[in-house]
Structure 1
Amino acid sequence: MQETALTDPSPKANRFARTRALPTIALCALIYASTLAVGYHINAAVLTILSMIVLCLLRIPVAIALISAAMLGALHAGLSMNDAIGAFNDNLLVGAQVGLTYVMIGAFAVALSRSGLLELLADAISARLGSDEQSTRKGVKWTLFGLFIVASLMSQNLVPVHIAFIPILLPPLLVVLDRLRVDRRAVACILACSISASYLLLPTGFGAIFLNEILLANVNSVGADYGLTATADMAPKAMALPVLGLVAGLLVAVFISYRRPRDYVTPRPTAAARPASPARLKPLQLVITLGALAVALVFQLKFDSLLLGAMVGFLILGVSGIFRWQEQDDVFTDGLRMMAQIAVIITVASGFAGVLTATGEIEPLVAASAELIGGNMALGAAVMLVVGLFITIGFGDSFASVPILAPIYLPLALTLGFDPLAAMALLGASASLGDAGSPASTITLGATAGLNADGQHDHIRDSVIPTFLHCNIGMLVFAWIAAMVL
């Protein structure tokens, strides 16, 4: 841990921290007072999401930004404080369940790290740099980028562990990335674009859930009244062009935006920070580690529970001696620390989404957008995508956005004259825009959990803003093209 080395004790920093709340409170009061002063009823959903974004950009902790914005939006919508708190609390259970899952994943990740497998991988990559670092720098860099892409794709489909691989894989490789002077914002974009592209296009694992159980199911459910019937093969076709936008965004991030070298502080490991035993992977340990991964995957798929799979994998590693039985509490606590921020924000984000729904102003927002569109298909596609981006940033979850948008977007798209495939592309892309790039998204939170292991990667500045710009803009452009040509 490098917390003491990363703390800025200077009086200037302390003064800034003490006074940061003042402009934040003033800004929120100004936003709200101005809407009342001019007699203009700003949509409560818009006010809520805008407030959350502004607070996050002011570097207010994400959880506090979510709660503050939710209360502000609820009061503006006419809800009492008790009703707002009730709507928030009623939706915490789902988030708490997901948060507990990520805590268990964190424990499993720490247990896996005790095997020395990833340290061995990091040592092998470091050894490749050798004394003649310049001659091998590019090869190692592109090998690592390829590893991140493959791991991201597999994490959603072949081995569906979602973001759990990031806090396992990234921290041991940070020293290597620093030696290569890689900009970590490029890595955040690689992870976000690859993870999103995987579940949006490949119909297995999480992709099967999004494409078949959510997108296809909602299209057929809502489209039944309009004579629309979609088949399983239509979903990947509809999402192909939007996913190409993610690929374009990834390429821009790697080759243009963040191609320049960036230096990070590489702290010397102290005696206390070094592992008690060297990272030597014995053959039996390798077999046990791979077996634990396999059993965890089987339990996850059989019982549809990532929580159960991670717990069983953790127990196997503990019983087998990968780490001492007496160290189980310490290993679990380390995993809790690693994933605590993600677990808390996911839980709070569920309450935020509940308040956003309770305002009752998401449908009026979409209805007002429909009035603006008129009968213009090109404008209609653009407005639908932008509104979808805005709503999904608030929810932080594309899986949860589809059922909210489907009853409004499908009739609107069909009325405007879009073909069924184009209507599906608009719905799927609108619900997916903002997933990578939301402060409360598991994708951006996961990227930060891995890249900020040494405290040098800011969640908003280095994960949220880069992924928002590169994942969402590219996808928005290509989704609009898909709506026009499908």
Structure 2
Amino acid sequence: MDLVLNPIILSVVLLCALCLAKVNVLISLLIAAIAAGVAGGLGLTKTMTVLANGFSGNATTALSYILLGTFAVSIAKTGLMQLLVDWLGRHMAHRPVAFCLTIAFISCLSQNVVPVHIAFIPLLIPPLLALMNKMKLDRRAIACSLGFGLTAPYISLPVGFGLIFQGIVADSMTSSGMKTTVSDVASVAWLLGLSMLAGLLFAVFVLYRRPRAYRDAPLDATLAEASRGGRLTAKHWVTLAAILLAVVVQVTLESLPLAALLGLTVMMVGKAFRFSELDSRIDSGISMMGLIAFVMLIAGGYAAVLKETGAVKELIEGVVPFIGSSRILAAVIITVIGLIVTMGIGTSFGTVPILAVIYVPLCAAVGFSLPATVLLMTAAGALGDAGSPASDSTLGPTSGLNADGQHDHIWDTCVPTFLVFNIPLMLMGIIGAQFL
């Protein structure tokens, strides 16, 4: 009974139930965080204090999304994005499978080559909705394609966001008593990327291959305006230079806010847009990415509440007696715990340090090797990004695919990505840990 009443389990079940009932994800996350604090004995007042103080955990991420949103809107209003949209329209109009795989490839670039993360989605996807409607393409396949590109590359490759994530895994495991390097993480993490690729192919070729009809509805005004293009001019070259600078700054200094800010500065100085238009660019960026930024802030507060209650440690201690000496049972329980925790917090980057404190000694006690522990640790982090209602990797695809109000965040993004990615990730983590 104590295990069932654990604040993490209670709050995550509540979060999922509210989201499935189509309660706004921001409100659902707030209610779930309050429930976790109250169930953990913090009381309502202290829970709200810890929740608010915990916003700082994802403050950099939230700032990044606002600035990246502003940068992305500025890029789109030069017409540069429309060049890509036009190319896709000419070459993919009657090839739905190739279209899905191309979107997945573009999404991959946003993690490792041009690290703008989800900021490209509300600008690239809405102008393509009419083309998808003509193809009768099931948008759940596109949600899976985007989700794959937003998650698999940073899990598998130590480049761009991948270098940051794998560094967090290595540092967290080392500080918890198991010396780990980024090379150790990269040597096994590609297996998880492979499992996600299998899930993507199943979604595109089998699960969501059948035609699905959508009506041609008007886009959100901000996105519609941002999607207008123009001929190639000098401002496009300035924009390309700004993008290149943003990439270099992000890779070298590992600061997304600084990269976006410098990119905006180059565009403004190079007259890709006028200084007098800066306010409207920021307003559009906040309009496009503001909800996601606030969800990330609350997710940081939710993580702080869970830490304060000690619920993660209690959850682990509650299941240890059931493990015994069975490595397969241990892997199953460890993976399920990771799923529960990350589904609530919704970010692999923020979850890994929380889980490592308990995962590392538990895996060592059961007899898992370093590669097996790395695999389980990385899989646990990826589970939240791939299917959580509070993840930027699910919120991002919804922001683009729902531009005309015909794509549900939970049933059309979270449930499909959970099915095609989380199940393969869990299986790879559990089975792979037995042989590494």
Q: Does 1:78 align with 2:41?
A: yes
Residue of structure 2 in register with 1:200 after alignment = 155
Between 147-156 and 390-399, report the one with greater CA deviation.
147-156
Change (3 A) 1:319 1:263: farther
**Is this contact kept in 2: 1:345–1:440, CA < 8 A?**
yes
**Is this contact kept in 2: 1:125–1:176, CA < 8 A?**
no
Residue of structure 2 in register with 1:16 after alignment = none
**Is this contact kept in 1: 2:113–2:247, CA < 8 A?**
no
Kindly state the Cα deviation for residue 282 of structure 1 after the two structures are TM-superposed.
2.5
Residue of structure 1 in register with 2:94 after alignment = 137
Give the partner amino acid of 2:26. A
Q: Does 1:158 align with 2:113?
A: yes
Residue of structure 1 in register with 2:233 after alignment = 283
Query: Which portions of structure 1, spanning 4 or more consecutive aligned residues, are displaced by more than 4 angstroms?
Result: 268-278
Cα deviation per residue 1:386-441 (whole Å; 9 max; x = unaligned)?
Answer: 11111111111111222222222222222222222112211221222222111111
What is the CA RMSD across the aligned residues, in angstroms?
2.5
TM alignment of 1:165-204, pairs within 5 A: 165-204=120-159
Kindly state the Cα deviation for residue 466 of structure 1 after the two structures are TM-superposed.
1.0
Task: Choose the corresponding residue for 2:56, options 82, 93, 100.
Answer: 93
* Structure 2 CA distance for aligned equivalents of residues 273 and 254 of structure 1: 26
Change (3 A) 1:275 1:359: closer
Task: Choose the corresponding residue for 2:169, options 215, 221, 234.
Answer: 215
Give me the identity figure in percent: 39
Q: Does 1:62 align with 2:25?
A: yes
Kindly state the Cα deviation for residue 40 of structure 1 after the two structures are TM-superposed.
8.7
Give the partner amino acid of 2:41. G
Change (3 A) 1:377 1:114: same
**Is this contact kept in 1: 2:130–2:216, CA < 8 A?**
yes
Q: Does 1:125 align with 2:88?
A: yes
Cα deviation per residue 1:268-327 (whole Å; 9 max; x = unaligned)?
Answer: 689999769973222313311211111222333344321122122223333434344433
Give the partner amino acid of 2:129. L
Kindly state the Cα deviation for residue 54 of structure 1 after the two structures are TM-superposed.
0.9
Task: Choose the corresponding residue for 2:306, options 350, 356, 359.
Answer: 356
- For residue 479 of structure 1, give the secondary structure of its aligned residue in structure 2: helix
Residue of structure 2 in register with 1:317 after alignment = 267
Q: Point out the structure with max Rg over C-alpha.
A: 1
* Structure 2 CA distance for aligned equivalents of residues 274 and 308 of structure 1: 28
Give the partner amino acid of 2:106. A
TM alignment of 1:8-19, pairs within 5 A: none
Between 147-156 and 177-186, report the one with greater CA deviation.
147-156
**Is this contact kept in 2: 1:45–1:359, CA < 8 A?**
no
Give the partner amino acid of 2:158. P
Residue of structure 2 in register with 1:133 after alignment = none
Runs of at least 5 residues in structure 1 that lack an aligned partner in the other structure: 1-34, 130-135
Task: Choose the corresponding residue for 1:107, options 70, 75, 93.
Answer: 70
Between 185-194 and 234-243, report the one with greater CA deviation.
234-243
* Structure 2 CA distance for aligned equivalents of residues 302 and 247 of structure 1: 29
Residue of structure 2 in register with 1:466 after alignment = 416
Cα deviation per residue 1:78-110 (whole Å; 9 max; x = unaligned)?
Answer: 212111111111111233332222111111111
Q: What TM-score, normalized by structure 1, do the two folds share?
A: 0.84
Give the partner amino acid of 1:219. M
- For residue 293 of structure 2, give the secondary structure of its aligned residue in structure 1: helix
* Structure 2 CA distance for aligned equivalents of residues 390 and 274 of structure 1: 38
